[in-house]
Chain A
Amino acid sequence: MLSKITVSPAPHISKAYSTRSIMLDVIIALTPAVAASVIYFRYRAAIIIATCVLVCLLTEWLCNTIRKKPNSLDDCSAILTGLILALSLPPAIPIWAASIGSIFAIAIGKMVFGGLGSNIFNPAMAGRLFLTASFGALMTTWTVPATVDPGMSAISATGTEAVTQATPLAWSKEAIKGKAQAHVANQQLTASFLGNTGGCLGETSTIALLLGGIYLLIKRTITFHIPAAVLLSAFVCASIGFLLKSEAYVSPLLHLTSGGMLICAFFIATDPVTAPLSQKGMWIFGAGVGVVTMLIRMVGEYPEGIMFAVFLMNAVTPLIDRFCKLKPAGGVPHG
């Protein structure tokens, strides 16, 4: 019987979860958003999502094989990257572009840094930014060009014409430039809440994203710090603009419910690998994301801006970590 007895350092029990189960939780939390995107954008959404997930998995497997590293697919993080990337793409994106984005996300965004845990930037956002930088036109084509893709005509046929509009935030941008009235955009608030509006696959339905976010909070897969900081700071910034000049700036609620703000607050900015470790750091990080996003939306050129904000804050995460160095509870030890 002795031969079966094992030794290892204490503790000998642990909480019953793992990296994998945490990733799975996030994937589960994304299912309402996935469902919403499939409802609104039909099989187009399904194809893009499937492509991204498969290409991400394949890329990770390839990278591991080439570098003779142990296979790491079973931590499910590649699936998650694929899902988030897909949900942040516009519905009209060609499959090849989605694939390139996925390859970039995993190969350059993650594996080059050393795989899960070592990447500085959120891989999905790296892929998304790469696509924006390389194929800018594709990434801002929110109107559905039925001519480019005959499959898309099915969408208009089902009566969800809303998807062929410009996104609410594009309206807002116009409003700032004085070309349109902010209240026109504000009228889209309800549509934006349900997801019945133009935008990326996953960022459209506020309800679906909220559901997922609440699930994560209840399961304690994420803590409330980052989402709260992102949403609060963005809300404050948007409110200031709205109160100062309501004919030019859209309602803060619209800012919160559109342009990927929610998917970012709950699913992207909370990516543990690229966010700060300490809770104080998380507050700073989240507030940074919120403020930078609103600056880009209200002052800069891009209507969405949140990816840039996350990317920027990812870059300063090591700095935030250093700044928020913890002090031992009993004070700094002497000697």
Chain B
Amino acid sequence: MAIEIKSKLTFPGGVHPPEYKEITENCAIEVMPSPKQVSVLLGQHIGAICKPTVAKRDKVQAGQIVGDSDAFVSAPVHTPVTGTVKDISLQSHPVLGRALAILIETDPENDSGKSPSPDRFDKDYDIQQYSSEQICEITRKAGIIGMGGAGFPTRVKIEPNPRLPKDLLIINGCECEPFITCDYRLMVEWTWQVLTGIRLAAKAARIERIKIGIEDNKPDAIEAMRQSVNESGQADKIEVVVVRTKYPQGGERQLIRSLLRKHVPSGGIPPMIGVCVLNIATCAALAEAVVCGAPLTHRVVTVTGNAIDRPGNYYVPIGTTIADLIDFCGGLTERAAKVVLGGPMMGFAIADLSRPITKTCGALTFLSQEMITKAKYDRRVTPCIRCGRCLTVCPENLNPTKIAHAVKKNRLDLAEQYYMSACIECGCCSFICPANIELTGYIKTGKILQARAKKKIPE
């Protein structure tokens, strides 16, 4: 066991949900073979949705681009398997509601599956052979996007922008969501690959200063990253900073606040204060893309919770349906009551198991009836007792109860007076509310209504 580390670096607000990381934190990354068919969504990122570049009945090779877009803020998607395009149709999508997806049937004869190659990286790996432009170009072609959740195209993030100059690269290794351990495993197992990715990203962005933020509940990861930084002689550029374990420490705004004591403007983005934030999985994918020429077709997904037979961290083809992944993990147990795409604080509860895994999906959490009963499921909602807890825990210092009540009464103007748009939807307020009010749910609804209302108004 590594040394006990405690850190005081943190942000105001936040909550301490139970961690449940022990379920999967010691499960080494395991490769999942290609399923019989995959369904690759064309809109997995923020920005323009891709158009299909293949047609029905086309033969495709693993790693081939199947959807692309000319827009600047976009990223192509690739097929993870070799096989035949069976269909291109609308599929349910966690954020957009519906989006086109390409259904590809795997050809078992020619598909060899993909294995990760973390061994190709070590401390002597020379990143100088690539120019900044080359790295940006490869990042785009490989379809790399922020894999922590938002899914912003990485190329747009790292490319130097004269209007918003960046001088600090922050690598987000917090993984503050309960249950999830995929980034932790990457840091421990694929340390060199992650570090190479970080250095490549810094090179592409022409940034000299790098801080890697890791929560103090992951001493092994801190140790591994520190050691590799020292061995590669980068200690003058890269600093591994330990931050306090608290949710949502891994929210980029919160991590920046913890590390720099500065706040990103509400509704703004980190480059506004000269910072670029990348997540661990993104860096690993970036290294693989640049060094091995492999596009983003697979990712590590933590399959966890107390209602799945074989929880673990799996290297999964992007486009695998949840049902296939469940089968691979030994199936659901009797107690399964909720399937959550992502972690329990911010993830989407889904009912449709034919949904595919996307690039941004770091975890699948299967919650049992007991666990939900202990939480929200059938506890009674009472009126707000104005206890003020939601205000205290809100990391963005908002007034969740007022916003939620304004939305409830359909008073979007009032909700905006309480700065609804500054909410990062972290879920702390709902987590803490003794009256069991779905504050975050109301606020999300309010934001969607607001967006719709704005679109309707002619310019």
Contact = CB atoms under 8 A, between A and B. Distances in A.
A2 interface: yes
B386 A273 contact: yes
A145 interface: no
A115 to B, nearest CB: 7
A13 B385 contact: no
Interface stretch (B21-29, B132-140, B434-442): B434-442
Interface in A277-310: 277-279, 282
A147 interface: no
Contact of A12 (B266, B338, B382, B385): B338
Contacts of B338: 5-8, 12
Nearest to A115: B383
B75 interface: no
A159 interface: no
Contacts of B267: 330, 333-335
B409 to A, nearest CB: 13
| Majority-rule SS of B interface residues | loop
Nearest to A274: B386
A333 B447 CA distance: 14
B340 A22 contact: no
B396 interface: yes
B86 interface: no
Interface in A1-43: 1-2, 4-22
Contacts of B5: none
B396 A5 contact: no
Interface stretch (A88-96, A199-207, A240-248, A321-329): A321-329
B12 A329 contact: yes
B241 to A, nearest CB: 20
A160 interface: no
B337 interface: yes
B265, B342, B388: which has the most chain A beta carbons within 10 Å?
Answer: B388
Task: Kindly name the residue among B332, B369, B434 whose own CB sees the greatest number of chain A CB atoms within 10 A.
Answer: B434
Given A115-B383, A329-B257, A11 B388 contact: no
Given A115-B383, A116-B383, A277-B386, A14 B337 contact: no
A329 B380 contact: no
A187 interface: no
Interface in B201-244: none
Interface residues of A, number: 50
B397 interface: yes
B147 to A, nearest CB: 19
Contacts of B265: 330-331, 333-334
Contacts of A178: none
Nearest to B371: A13
A117 to B, nearest CB: 3
Nearest to A9: B441
B316 interface: no
Given A16-B374, A329-B263, A331-B265, A277 B401 contact: yes
A29 B378 CA distance: 27
A13 B435 contact: no
Contact of B435 (A11, A16, A18, A331): A18
Given A11-B430, A11-B431, A329-B266, 4 more contacts: A10-B430, A14-B376, A115-B383, A329-B397
Interface of B: 12-13, 15, 17-18, 178, 253, 257, 263-268, 332, 336-340, 342, 344-351, 353, 365, 367, 369, 371-372, 374-377, 379-380, 382-388, 391-392, 395-399, 401-402, 418-419, 421-422, 425, 427, 430-436, 438, 440-441, 444
